[in-house]
Amino acid sequence: MNYALINNEIHDSFPVVDRATFNMVGGIDSTSFAVTILDPDGDGRVDGTGAVDWSIQEKGVGTGFYTLSFTPDQLGEWIANVVHDDYFPYGKSMNYEVVPEGFFSSGGDSTSDIAELLDICDDIVIMLSTLL
């Protein structure tokens, strides 16, 4: 699961690979993708309708790497599923835990945030080891 801040745009990248040749597939029109975004209430915000719009763009030209972007407007778990009929008809799903501004006590410094998360993980390991 990825963490994201409320009302801040999420950019999540994914590859498109031809299953027959294992080559990256570039140049796909963004309208060829179907996207379903579920908010924490489980309300489907399908194909950009509702309060959350999305976009997909290829990173560079012909790279085969694409980026899904959208801005969550509620706290909680969000799920995005991207479908392409030819390359991944069952979809690629991505999960995000959307947290409030200031969730990380460091105020958003990514180095401090990582250190804080590692400290939390260490605390969890210590707690679990006392249970065994």
Q: Tens digit of pLDDT for each residue in 62-105?
A: 999 999 999 998 899 999 999 999 999 999 999 999 999 887 66
Total tally of structural domains belonging to the chain: 2
**Structure letter (DSSP) for residue 75:** S
Q: 89 and 36, same structural domain?
A: yes
What's 32's domain CATH number? 2.60.40.10
Distant-in-sequence contacts of 39-43, Cβ < 8 A, 24+ apart:
39/72, 39/73, 39/74, 39/76, 39/78, 40/74, 40/75, 40/76, 40/77, 40/78, 40/98, 41/74
For the entire predicted model, the pTM comes to: 0.73
Say yes or no: 120 and 65 in one domain: no
Pair 113, 50 in one domain? no
Single-letter code of the amino acid located at 100: P
- Range of the structural domain that residue 44 is part of: 2-101
Query: Are residue 51 and residue 10 in the same domain, yes or no?
Result: yes
Q: Answer yes or no: do 70 and 130 share one domain.
A: no
Residues 56, 114 within the same domain = no
